[in-house]
Each structure stands twice: as C-alpha cells, then as structure tokens.
C-alpha cells in the first residue's frame, strides 16, 4: 500500500490498540510483548510509516548513515568485516548502523528506514532474503557482500568460493586421502553452494575417492554433533573439509572428544582463515578469504552506487589462497 500522508504515531497506536509510548518502544527496539510488537509492526507496514519521513523527503538529503546487516555475530568472521567497513566509512565521514539476527525482517526494515540510512550492505544474505528485497523495493540502494544471490539487481562482491573448494580438495587428495567428508554450510547460502561445488568437481578427478556430506549449517553446535556421529561410524573419514573455520573448530573438538588424533588419524581443513585460526593451539589448515578487502569493496560499491545510481551493476570476485598449517597430514 502506498504511504498515506500525515500518518502519525498516534494513529499507528490507535490501529494497533496500544499506547503511543508502546509504538515508540517498538520502533526503538525496546522490550515489548511479542504479540504487541507484532500488532505495532503490522500497523507500521500497513501505513508504510516512518517517524521522520517528512525531514527525509528533502531532495538530495543524505543521512551519512550506512546500514550493515549481520546474521551471526558469534562467528569471528563477521567482526573482522564490520571493523573494516567501519574504518572505510569513518574515512569518508560516514557512520554505521548494525542490524543483527535478533531482529526480524520487519524490525530490521523499520529500524533502517527510521534511521534514514543512505544504503545497506548485506553480509550474510541467503536465497529469498526478505529484508534485502524489501529495502530495494523502498528505493534504498543495497550491496551484497561475501554472500551473493543470482538474479538479484544489486552490486555484489564475494571471494572465489568455487576455487576455495577446489584448493581444499587438491590438498587432501595430494596427501592421499580417499575417504573424505565435507561439513556443509547453511543451505541457501551462496558460499556453501560454491565451496561444495568446487570441492565435488575436483574430487571427481581422484580415483577411488568417497565423499560423505553432512550438514553443519555454519553453526558450531550443529557441526560438532554431526562430526561426532560421523566419527562413530563403521568407516569414519580420514579427512574433513569444513565450509568455514568455526565448523572446523567444532570438528577439532569433536575429534578430541572421540579420541581421534588430529592430524595423525584425521585431517581437517577449514575455510576463511579468521585470525583465531592462526593461533598456536588451533593452527588450522584453511583457505584464506581476503576478509578485510571484501568488506572494503562492499562499502566502496555502495558509495559508488550512491554517487552514480544509474551505473551498470558490478559483481566483484576476489582471489583466495590456501594456507597449510598443522591440522592436515598424509593419510
């Protein structure tokens, strides 16, 4: 529905059957009962309400605020990216507004529109990402950074994830491993699809190789349980390729709990090379993504889009690098 003129928070409160102060708490991320929050957000969506929409309607006005959507702050990958983005924005005199997985798509949309962001960088988009589509629908520029979507009309930047999978496979095959398992990332995430594709394609060239795929969902606990079950099988793998470093950490700990020695009995390869992976007690063999460069390019693409809204869309793919450490050894 098109925005109705002169809609106020009083009318939103009346529509939702709550006090005006409750509307304010919802829009500012305060503590509100789930059903109350749902009614307020439904009224906000119905009237396409923005608290300061009049001030933001000034032609050419910019807030100097860039939204960044992060889905998993427990993954050390994302703080590295956010820090790099914040540095680039600070150099340009701009600020960052962070949206995390605590918020629903409705809440994230309400927050970002209320703050009047000039554009939004999405770092963890998945297939049918609702918030990214809705931001574009409201005319707010969007850039996909790290994860990408096919046929999505926005600038995008990612690492060469297909090659990352191939590099991991080449390393394990060169060590003589023929019973391999792949701990897969989140279904619907481009990184999981691309890394899995590259790994499978390269492994097919090896003779007598069997690959078992298990779901790790880019989550430590999920990956830990999956690897424990895998190692308890009759013919456990001699090597694992994990679609990110966090799942590789889970695999290392699952192996230790099962009494399986790494790397003598089990080789483990991750993907990302977050700073923790180089710590001596971890020393993870992995495939390095240019984390900071991905973040920098993502912000630069958005700033370029703000300056040149009609320019052709860009899709940047950045190189990856294999990093050999102490969690892999010959079969």
Instruction: State residue 306's pLDDT score.
Output: 92
Give the C-alpha separation, 131 to 111, whole Å: 12
65 and 97 Cβ atoms separated by less than 8 Å: yes
pLDDT at 53: 43
| Per-residue pLDDT in tens (0 to 9) along the chain, 331 residues | 444 555 777 788 888 998 877 887 777 666 778 898 889 888 888 887 766 543 443 444 678 899 999 988 888 999 999 999 999 998 888 899 998 877 888 888 888 888 889 999 999 888 878 889 889 888 899 999 999 999 999 999 999 999 999 999 999 999 999 999 999 999 999 999 999 999 999 998 778 899 999 999 999 999 999 999 999 999 999 999 999 999 999 999 999 999 999 999 999 999 999 999 999 999 999 999 999 999 999 999 999 999 999 999 999 999 999 999 999 999 9
Residue linked to tokens 């694992």: 240
* H or E element at residue 97: strand 95-99
Tell me the three state secondary structure of residue 253: helix
Q: Are 243 and 249 in contact (CB under 8 A)?
A: no
Instruction: Residue 83: name the closest of 93, 72, 100, 98 by CA.
Output: 98
- Give the pLDDT of residue 183: 98
Q: What is the pLDDT of residue 246?
A: 97
Asked whether 164 and 320 are in contact (CB, 8 A), the reply is yes
Please say whether the beta carbons of 220 and 250 come within 8 A: yes
pLDDT value, residue 222: 98
**pTM of structure:** 0.81
The answer to whether 254 touches 228, Cβ cutoff 8 Å, is yes
Q: Is residue 242 classed as helix, strand or coil in its secondary structure?
A: strand
Q: List, in order, residues 6 or more apart from 310 with CB less than 8 Å away.
A: none
């Amino acid at each position: 529905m098109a925005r109705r003129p002169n809609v106020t928070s009083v009318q939103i409160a009346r529509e939702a059957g709550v006090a005006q102060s409750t509307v304010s708490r919802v829009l500012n991320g305060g503590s509100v009962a789930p059903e109350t929050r749902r009614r307020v957000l439904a009224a906000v969506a119905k009237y396409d309400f923005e608290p300061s929409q009049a001030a933001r309607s000034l032609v050419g006005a910019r807030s100097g605020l860039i939204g960044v959507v992060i889905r998993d702050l427990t993954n050390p990958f994302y703080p590295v990216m956010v820090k790099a983005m914040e540095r680039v924005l600070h150099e340009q005199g701009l600020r960052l507004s962070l949206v995390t997985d605590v918020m629903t798509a409705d809440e994230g949309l309400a927050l970002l529109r209320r703050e009047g962001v000039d554009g939004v960088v999405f770092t963890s988009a998945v297939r049918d990402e609702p918030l990214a589509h809705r931001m574009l629908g409201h005319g707010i520029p969007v850039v996909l950074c790290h994860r990408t979507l096919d046929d999505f009309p926005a600038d995008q930047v990612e690492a060469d994830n297909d090659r990352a999978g191939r590099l991991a496979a080449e390393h394990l095959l060169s060590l003589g491993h023929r019973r391999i398992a792949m701990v897969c990332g989140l279904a619907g995430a481009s990184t999981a699809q691309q890394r899995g594709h590259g790994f499978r394609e390269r492994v097919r060239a090896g003779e007598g190789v069997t690959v078992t795929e298990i779901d790790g969902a880019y989550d430590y606990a999920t990956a830990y349980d999956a690897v424990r079950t895998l190692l308890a099988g009759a013919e456990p793998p001699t090597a694992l390729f994990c679609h990110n470093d966090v799942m590789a950490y889970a695999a290392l700990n699952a192996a230790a709990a099962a009494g399986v020695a790494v790397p003598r009995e089990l080789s483990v390869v991750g993907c990302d090379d977050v700073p923790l992976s180089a710590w001596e007690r971890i020393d993870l063999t992995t495939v390095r993504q240019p984390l900071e460069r991905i973040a920098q390019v993502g912000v630069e693409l958005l700033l370029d889009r703000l300056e040149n809204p009609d320019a052709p869309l860009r899709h940047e793919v950045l190189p990856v690098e294999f990093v050999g450490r102490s969690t892999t050894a010959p079969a």
